[in-house]
Homo-oligomer: A and B are copies of this chain.
């Protein structure tokens, strides 16, 4: 089997799995308990906060553990919106967000917040002029992802941060797809908050983190929780957190070399595909290094995915978090693609273990499928 769906989820690395096992055996205490078992667990959590914060050039005081990327997005958006509700109720987002961002914002809409969506550009970036024109005095929050899981296109975080520098609005970015894949510098980008997920970086599922820059106003979604200063109720999953940290540190240590290797693979793979049959969605360069959003003329992306699966190759036809949705992705419509073009979307995403041989086999099958 060839697994080319690493943007949906990744297998745990051997180090992460071993880290999970060792921690589960040794540090199983509840970090809220005041006895030694609890104290040791709390110390390990603090160590992990420090290591994760360093990867995004943030402060360890800003790390809050969550139940994964969706939970990071929803909990962070609600907490920030509640914390700023006295200053306004207007939020800006993009058409390139993960479904969980939309779910959090829909919840906020039922509570009196209003949401505007910036325009997208043909290449998959947001339109900065559109963002500037949507900013209002009562805008309290702007949430724009670092990279769309559907298109793979990178958003210009530093430009957005610059635009927001003189505005009260907080800047949150869903960095689930980019974390440990390309550099993130929360200070340079003027980011107040960031979402991360463990299972996209060969860590465990059900684990992730939110970063909220110390000093930023936020208010607990569920008042009265003792855990993590009230950010999220529930016993901390110390083994999951340790395994997440192990995986993230492992990935961050080789990030630059891995990015170069993936970018070479990405361009090589594009050249292998029949140019008459295959088209790339979004910018060719400003994209995640391990991600390709493609379509084959006159075929549905879902058909390509199923035919690949029959041949032992796992690719994706859109976000795994939106299965069953029959309408074409809003992200592609925002880029000016027709519904027919959008239905053609399928996605290939590499992992650290992906080989050229696997890519060569896959390109061969895709060219064969295009010719049927």
Contacts and interface: CB of A to CB of B under 8 A. Distances in A.
Given A21-B17, A71-B67, A222 B37 contact: no
A237 B302 contact: no
Interface string A227-238: 100000111111
A302 B222 CA distance: 27
A151 B319 CA distance: 46
A5 interface: yes
A71 to B, nearest CB: 6
Given A99-B226, A107-B223, A320 B30 contact: yes
B314 A221 contact: no
Contact of A206 (B69, B99, B100, B237): B237
Interface stretch (A114-122, A128-136, A322-330): A322-330
Contact of A67 (B100, B224, B234): B234
Interface stretch (A179-187, A258-266, A304-312): A304-312
Interface stretch (A6-14, A249-257, A267-275): A6-14
A121 to B, nearest CB: 25
A205 B239 contact: yes
B234 A69 contact: yes
A162 to B, nearest CB: 32
A102 B224 contact: yes
A302 B33 CA distance: 11
A183 to B, nearest CB: 25
Given A204-B240, A309-B36, A322 B226 contact: yes
Contact of A17 (B3, B25, B222, B238): B25
A35 interface: yes
B199 A103 contact: no
Specify which of A29, A103, A308, A317 lies most central, judged by the most chain B CB atoms within 10 Å of its CB: A103
A19 B66 CA distance: 23
Q: How many copies does the complex hold?
A: 2
A117 to B, nearest CB: 15
A223 B103 contact: yes
Interface in A36-75: 36-38, 67-71, 74
Nearest to A41: B9
A233 B321 contact: yes
Contacts of A239: 12, 204-205
B34 A9 contact: no
A336 interface: no
Given A9-B28, A107-B223, 16 more contacts: A1-B37, A5-B35, A8-B29, A9-B29, A17-B21, A20-B20, A30-B320, A67-B67, A68-B234, A68-B235, A70-B235, A99-B225, A205-B239, A206-B237, A226-B321, A227-B321
8 contacts: A3-B37, A5-B29, A8-B30, A8-B235, A34-B317, A99-B226, A100-B222, A205-B239
